[in-house]
């Protein structure tokens, strides 16, 4: 009864956007304002009208899909342009709407005309805690032909006007901190001086401090989601992760940029870690380093293990390799001590293990696997011994013997994308996920669901949930979106690690059988649900909800079932191929 009620609720929600109504209406999803000031001549709008209504914009007929959704492309001319909408119902009732765009040409590149500084940028961005040897880069826009200095002594040089820099008055330079520097939450002064000796001084937005020798310089990881970042780059999915770390791992802090500590992993390797997953240790704590101890490679009834003896917990990173299939773990701060490796015959997935001292303080563990397909692994500490727990290929690759995780994207206040008719990604991903759950159960699989209802589940909760339940594989269901609702569309799949690519590629190939456009199978994708290494995982962006034609498809329950059938076939292809390798 509960399943029927939930299904009815979803159907009501998914089918309520454009109504069969004799009374016509026009509802815009984008833009939301009636008057829009823009700088780009190419603009798109999307929205919905009643099903069966005819629609024109400035007397030009517009395609209206069966859902009532539509999209329209505009090439504006400078000035004011009004777009007049007319929707006509089958009974000849009409309604109108007007939309106004004010298109202004982009302003000409502006040269500063008076003695002034109009902008100051520093790189890295944000408040900085630096050490001698670190560099700060400055970029300043001011009156051309002047002398510009930072902190009174650092010369900034005016850049020539080229294809990259088209405006005179752009000054750049960098400064390497010295032992004698004593910045303490200092906004650095930037001074511009003209040929008559007149000057103007302004200050950087962010503050610079020199890392104090008296301050604690060691931190320790905390929680279950501590992670290292390659650098300070950001996208909408966050910074690019090196990987997750176990708790209680000491790290040497050598600076801070914004909310990220800079840490020294080894002599030639540094990384960043968010300050909310690390706590300072008392001053005087040793920098982590260790000679290696004896190894033990063995299996139990479920997993294979590599146990590397160390004197202290050290940071690490792992990578996956294919052809041949291998797991590679670099341990930072470890040095080989000519200890031996004892490998027992009860391992079922580990074929061979060996090491290299790739740098004086970087120790590399290489684990060769028996199967081409990787099924995941977990890295953690048992005392001071580093343990790499390797998952075996399931004895049976039949769906009836597997545990499949199905992740319905978004939920609750995290609505995701919206379609032209007002459809919601969070509702549609749930509808498809429930159908996928039913289809997999009919094949005998045990299905683990992130959510069975319209609720919010944080991505961190999702990762921890599946880290604890350890599915055999995970599929995350989403819908894509674009500011261009006409030309951009198609299906796509995503993976983070090369060892898990096959799952996403096999699903992608099956999705293309639905006649959807290609949007690609994308690797190294920085999505949180693709970040675990414990099990194969794939993100499926079924199609573009922003595109009214594709929205019409996914609102159809029959098409939703076709998508589910293709995902199941893709999973089966992945399992069949794994059994052959």
The SS3 assignment for 577 reads: helix
Domain that holds residue 53: 24-103
According to the model, what pLDDT value does residue 402 have? 98
Note whether 403 and 545 are same-domain residues: yes
- Long-range pairs for 30-33 at CB < 8 Å and ≥24 separation? 30/420, 30/483, 30/485, 31/99
Percent of the chain scoring above 70 in pLDDT? 96
| CA 550, 555, 557, 561 torsion-angle sign | positive
CATH number at 516 reads 3.40.630.40
Tens of pLDDT, residues 451-489? 999 999 999 999 999 999 999 999 999 999 999 999 999
pLDDT, residue 213, reads 80
* 495, pLDDT greater than 80: yes
Residue linked to tokens 């604890």: 468
Instruction: State yes or no: pLDDT of 14 exceeds 90.
Output: no
Q: Which of 103, 136, 170 is the C-terminal boundary of a domain?
A: 103
**How far from the centroid of its chain's Cα atoms is residue 10's Cα?**
28
Cβ neighbours of 6 (radius 10 Å):
16
Residue 15 lies in a domain: no
338 in the same domain as 436: no
Give yes or no: residues 481 and 419 share one domain.
yes
User: Is 9 a domain residue?
Assistant: no
Cα separation, 264 vs 253, in Å, equals 7
Name which of 20, 60, 168, 43 is nearest 100 in CA terms: 43
| Residue 446 Cα distances to 403, 418, 441, angstroms | 5, 31, 6
Q: Are residues 432 and 353 in the same domain?
A: no
pLDDT of residue 7 exceeding 60, the answer is: no
Instruction: Report the C-alpha gap between 321 and 409 in whole angstroms.
Output: 29
Residue 428 and residue 554 in one domain: yes
Binned at pLDDT 50, 70 and 90, residue 17 comes out as very low
Number of domains in the chain: 5
Neighbours of 398 (CB within 10 A): 14
| 3 state DSSP class of 342 | strand
pLDDT confidence bin for 3, thresholds 50/70/90: very low
| Angstrom distances, CA of residue 76 to CA of 43, 255, 381, 434, 570 | 8, 49, 61, 44, 44
| 387 and 406 share one domain | no
Note the pLDDT tens digit of each residue in 25-72: 999 999 999 999 999 999 999 999 999 999 999 999 999 999 999 999
**CA neighbours closer than 13 Å in the CB half-sphere of residue 425:** 25
Q: Is residue 109 one of the residues assigned to a domain?
A: no
Model confidence at 581, in pLDDT bands (50, 70, 90)?
low
- Both tokens of residue 224? 């279950």
State mean pLDDT over 257-285. 94
Residues in CB range of 427: below 8 A, 6 or more apart: 10, 13, 14, 454
Within-domain flag for 16: no
Does residue 567 sit in helix, strand or coil? helix
**What is the separation, in whole angstroms, between the first and last Cα of the chain?**
44
The confidence band for 21, taking pLDDT boundaries of 50, 70 and 90, is low
Q: Which of 280, 302, 323 is the last residue of a domain?
A: 280
Domain C-terminal end among 391, 410, 436:
391
Whether 324 and 254 map to the same domain: the answer is: no
Indicate which CATH number applies to the domain containing 275.
2.30.30.40
Mean pLDDT of 7-15: 48
User: Is residue 11 included in any domain, yes or no?
Assistant: no
User: pLDDT tens digits for 166-185?
Assistant: 899 999 999 999 988 989 99
For 268-324, the DSSP string reads TEEEEEEGGGEEEPPTTPPPP-EEEEEEEEEE-SSEEEEEEEESS---EEEEEETTT
Pairing of strands 290-299, 341-343: parallel
313/322 Cα distance (integer angstroms): 28
Residues 129, 71: contact at Cβ < 8 Å?
A: no
Q: How far apart, in whole angstroms, are the C-alpha atoms of residue 285 and residue 42?
A: 59
**pLDDT at position 466, please?**
96
Which tens digit of pLDDT belongs to each residue from 206-265?
999 998 888 889 999 999 999 999 988 776 677 788 999 999 999 999 999 999 999 999
Do 502 and 508 touch, CB atoms closer than 8 A?
no
pLDDT of residue 162: 83
569 inside domain: yes
Q: Do 425 and 346 share a domain, yes or no?
A: no
Instruction: Please state whether beta strands 303-310 and 341-343 pair in parallel, antiparallel, or not at all (unpaired).
Output: unpaired
φ and ψ at residue 501, rounded to 5 degrees:
-60, -35
CATH number of the domain that residue 123 is part of: 2.60.40
- Alpha-carbon distance of 264 to 228, in angstroms, equals 11
Tell me if 110 is assigned to some domain.
no
Longest pairwise C-alpha distance within the chain: 88
- Predicted confidence (pLDDT) at residue 342 exceeds the cutoff of 50: yes
Q: At 434, is the secondary structure helix, strand, or coil?
A: helix
Same domain? For 315 and 256 the reply is no
Give the Cα-Cα-Cα angle 540, 542, 547 (nearest 5 degrees). 140
Q: What is the mean pLDDT of residues 78-88?
A: 97
User: Domain holding 365: CATH number?
Assistant: 2.60.40.3500
Strands 154-158 and 147-150: antiparallel
Evaluate if residue 19 carries a pLDDT over 70.
Answer: no
Same domain, 424 and 550: yes
553 in the same domain as 480: yes
- Provide the pLDDT for residue 164: 78
Arithmetic mean of pLDDT over the chain = 94
Kindly state whether residue 465 falls inside one of the protein's structural domains.
yes
Residues 529 and 440 in one domain: yes
Q: Rounded to the nearest 5 degrees, what angle is found at the Cα of 375, between the Cα atoms of 569 and 469?
A: 90
Give mean pLDDT, residues 570-580: 95
Q: What is the CATH number of the domain that holds 51?
A: 2.60.40.10
Q: Mean pLDDT over residues 494-507, rounded?
A: 98
């Amino acid at each position: 009864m509960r399943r029927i009620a939930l299904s009815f609720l979803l159907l009501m929600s998914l089918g309520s956007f454009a109504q069969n109504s004799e009374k016509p209406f026009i509802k815009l999803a984008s833009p939301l304002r009636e008057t829009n000031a823009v700088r780009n001549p190419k603009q798109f709008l999307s929205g919905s009208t009643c099903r069966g209504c005819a629609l024109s914009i400035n007397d030009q007929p517009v395609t209206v899909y069966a859902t009532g959704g539509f999209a329209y492309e505009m090439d504006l001319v400078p000035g004011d342009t009004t777009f007049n909408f007319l929707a006509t119902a089958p009974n000849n009732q009409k309604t109108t709407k007007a939309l106004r765009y004010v298109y202004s040409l982009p302003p000409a590149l502006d040269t500063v005309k008076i003695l002034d500084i109009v902008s100051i940028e520093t790189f890295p961005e944000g408040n900085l805690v630096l050490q001698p040897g670190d560099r700060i880069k400055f970029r300043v826009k001011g009156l051309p032909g002047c002398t510009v200095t930072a902190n009174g002594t650092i010369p900034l040089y005016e850049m020539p006007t080229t294809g990259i820099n088209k405006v005179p008055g752009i000054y750049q330079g960098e400064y390497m901190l010295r032992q004698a520097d004593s910045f303490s939450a200092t906004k650095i002064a930037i001074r511009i001086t003209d040929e008559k000796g007149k000057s103007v001084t302004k200050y950087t937005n962010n503050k610079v401090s020199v890392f104090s020798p008296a301050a604690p310089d060691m931190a320790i990881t905390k929680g279950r989601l501590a992670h290292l970042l390659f650098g300070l780059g950001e996208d909408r999915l966050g910074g690019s992760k090196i990987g997750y770390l176990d708790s209680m791992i000491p790290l040497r802090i050598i600076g801070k940029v914004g909310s990220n500590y800079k840490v020294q992993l080894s002599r030639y390797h540094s990384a960043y870690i968010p300050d909310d997953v690390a706590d300072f240790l008392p001053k005087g704590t040793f920098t982590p380093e260790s000679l290696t101890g004896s190894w033990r490679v063995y299996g139990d009834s479920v997993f294979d293990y590599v146990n590397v003896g160390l004197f202290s917990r050290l940071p690490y990173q792992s990578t996956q390799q294919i052809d041949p299939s291998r797991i590679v773990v670099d341990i930072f701060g470890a040095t080989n001590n000519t200890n031996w490796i004892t490998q027992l015959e009860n391992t079922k997935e580990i074929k061979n293990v060996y090491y290299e001292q790739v740098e004086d303080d970087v120790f590399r563990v290489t684990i060769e696997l028996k199967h081409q397909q990787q099924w995941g692994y977990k890295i953690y500490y048992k005392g001071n011994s580093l343990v790499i727990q390797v998952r075996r290929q399931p004895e049976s690759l039949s769906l009836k013997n597997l545990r499949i995780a199905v992740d319905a994207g978004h939920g609750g206040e995290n609505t995701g994308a919206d379609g032209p008719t007002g459809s919601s990604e969070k509702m549609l991903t749930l509808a498809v996920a429930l159908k996928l759950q039913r289809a997999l159960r009919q094949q005998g699989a045990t299905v683990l669901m992130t959510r069975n209802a319209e609720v919010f589940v944080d991505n961190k909760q999702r990762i921890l949930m599946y880290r604890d339940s350890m599915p055999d594989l995970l599929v995350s269901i989403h819908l894509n979106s674009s500011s261009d609702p006409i030309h951009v569309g198609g299906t796509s799949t995503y993976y983070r690690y090369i060892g898990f690519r096959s799952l996403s590629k096999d699903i992608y190939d099956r999705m293309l059988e639905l006649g959807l456009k290609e949007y690609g199978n994308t690797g190294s994708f920085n999505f949180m649900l693709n970040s675990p290494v414990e099990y194969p995982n794939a993100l499926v962006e079924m199609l573009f909800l922003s595109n009214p034609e594709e929205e019409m498809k996914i609102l159809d329950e029959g098409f939703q079932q076709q998508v589910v059938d293709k995902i199941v076939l893709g999973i089966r292809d992945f399992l069949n191929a794994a059994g052959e390798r």
